[in-house]
């Protein structure tokens, strides 16, 4: 027997997906999943991110680059996360949220639980993706 999904739950998911789409209308769902995984596990390495998402490390690295300040070839990224060298293991990159990433996470929290975040409001105008 299929589980019953309440219309308000579907609406919430749609609003969360729309928030990601406001960042970039062509944002792949894998970037959204990467962002959410990093938000849940700040300090995660790119290798651990790849493992949790079941993707290649090169894909995880590409996702992190797109979510960072600079994507690739000088193209502006979304500035939601930053990757820094692990001081204990130089080949390993540790990923955390930027201030912009924390603000976006607050927007998502307000969508999911508006009553628990009374001071946080979702923006009325869409965010624009950074241009190169």
Q: What is the pLDDT of residues 37-96, one digit of tens each?
A: 999 999 999 999 999 999 999 999 999 999 999 887 778 899 999 999 988 998 899 999
Task: Report the CATH fold assignment for 7-114.
Answer: Arc Repressor Mutant, subunit A (1.10.10)
Mean pLDDT calculated for residue range 115-121 = 54
Quote the pTM value.
0.80
How far apart are alpha carbons 72 and 74 in whole angstroms? 5
46 CB-contact burial (10 Å; exposed 0-12 / middle 13-18 / buried 19+)? buried
Strand partners, 86: 89
- Contact between 131 and 76 (Cβ < 8 Å): yes
How far apart are alpha carbons 78 and 113 in whole angstroms? 24
- In 3-state terms, what secondary structure has residue 75? coil
Domain ranges of the chain: 7-114
């Amino acid at each position: 027997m299929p589980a019953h999904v309440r219309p308000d739950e579907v609406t919430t998911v749609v609003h969360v997906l729309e928030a990601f789409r406001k960042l970039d209308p062509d944002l792949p769902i894998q970037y959204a999943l990467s962002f959410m995984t990093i938000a849940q596990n700040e300090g995660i390495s790119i290798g651990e991110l790849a493992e949790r998402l079941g993707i290649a490390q090169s894909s995880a690295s590409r996702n992190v680059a797109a979510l960072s300040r600079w994507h690739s070839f000088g193209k502006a990224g979304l500035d939601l996360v930053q990757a820094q060298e692990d001081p204990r293991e130089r080949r390993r990159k540790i990923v955390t949220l930027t201030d912009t990433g924390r603000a976006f996470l607050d927007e998502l929290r307000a969508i999911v639980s508006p009553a628990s975040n009374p001071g946080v409001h979702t923006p009325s105008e869409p965010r624009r993706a950074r241009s190169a």
